[in-house]
């Protein structure tokens, strides 16, 4: 269609002729209300910005020889951050001779991860970086990660690492039990 004909049709309909795809060959135009078009485009852009999630990473620093009360305070901060939907980077700072015992920091990070398992999961496991050891915890977003966390939290720590042991063997019966005088677990009557 020629441009003059399109402009005439737009004027008759009391609308605007808007070039939708200028790079196309031939260029694509639509007859529409341009003000309404701009408003709807702005609404779509605003909606897409609203649906984007800004990932906030909070940091909590610990030392390997932390006292129980101080640990609980730091853990409470981590819980607060996870409940707010932020990721938490937990850093253990080693100084002096502490650097020769990284397993202390590793155990502390594992303990913290287990303590907040119902609120978040370990996104990046503990790794040493110079004088610091870091671990990243992320909040549970979906039902799958929440269910996994509840299952692993319900299992005792020994069962998480190794399979369950076999049932213990029963003690041999006493001579009175063999004779049938008493039921197992009862004291024999004389």
Co-location of 7 and 72 in the same domain = no
The reply to whether 70 and 150 lie within a common domain is yes
The pLDDT of residue 112 is 93
Contact between residue 118 and residue 153 where contact means Cβ atoms under 8 Å apart: yes
Residue 17 CA to residue 48 CA, distance in Å, equals 27
Specify whether 66 is located in the same domain as 153.
yes
Taking the C-alpha atoms of residue 114 and residue 163, their distance in angstroms, rounded to an integer, is: 19
Check which CATH number belongs to the domain holding 61 and give it: 3.30.110.10
Q: Is the domain of 38 the same as that of 85?
A: no
Are residues 94 and 122 both part of a single domain?
Answer: yes
Q: For the whole model, what pTM was predicted?
A: 0.51
Verify that 76 and 151 share a domain, yes or no: yes
Domain assignment of residue 163, yes or no: no
Residue-range definition of the domain harbouring residue 13: 3-51
pLDDT digits (tens, 9 = 90+) for 17-26: 888 888 888 8
Query: 135 and 71 in one domain?
Result: yes
Residues 45 and 69 in one domain: no
pLDDT digits (tens, 9 = 90+) for 50-94: 877 777 899 999 999 999 999 999 999 999 999 988 899 999 999
Residues 113 and 135 in one domain: yes
């Amino acid at each position: 269609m020629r441009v003059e004909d399109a402009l005439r049709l737009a004027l008759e309909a009391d609308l605007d002729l808007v070039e939708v795809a200028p790079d196309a060959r031939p260029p694509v135009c639509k007859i529409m209300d341009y003000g309404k078009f701009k408003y709807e485009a702005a609404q779509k852009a605003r909606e897409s910005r609203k649906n984007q999630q800004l990932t906030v990473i909070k940091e909590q620093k610990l030392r390997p020889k932390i006292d129980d009360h101080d640990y609980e305070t730091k853990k409470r901060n981590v819980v607060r951050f996870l409940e707010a939907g932020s990721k938490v980077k937990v850093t253990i700072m080693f100084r002096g001779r502490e650097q020769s015992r990284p397993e202390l920091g590793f155990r502390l990070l594992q303990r913290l991860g287990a303590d907040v398992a119902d609120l978040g999961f370990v996104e990046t496991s503990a790794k040493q970086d110079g004088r610091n050891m870091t671990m990243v915890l992320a909040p549970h977003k979906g039902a799958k990660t929440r269910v996994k966390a509840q299952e692993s939290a319900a299992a005792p720590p020994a069962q998480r690492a190794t399979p369950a042991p076999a049932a213990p063997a029963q003690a041999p019966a006493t001579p009175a039990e063999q004779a049938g005088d008493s039921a197992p677990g009862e004291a024999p009557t004389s």
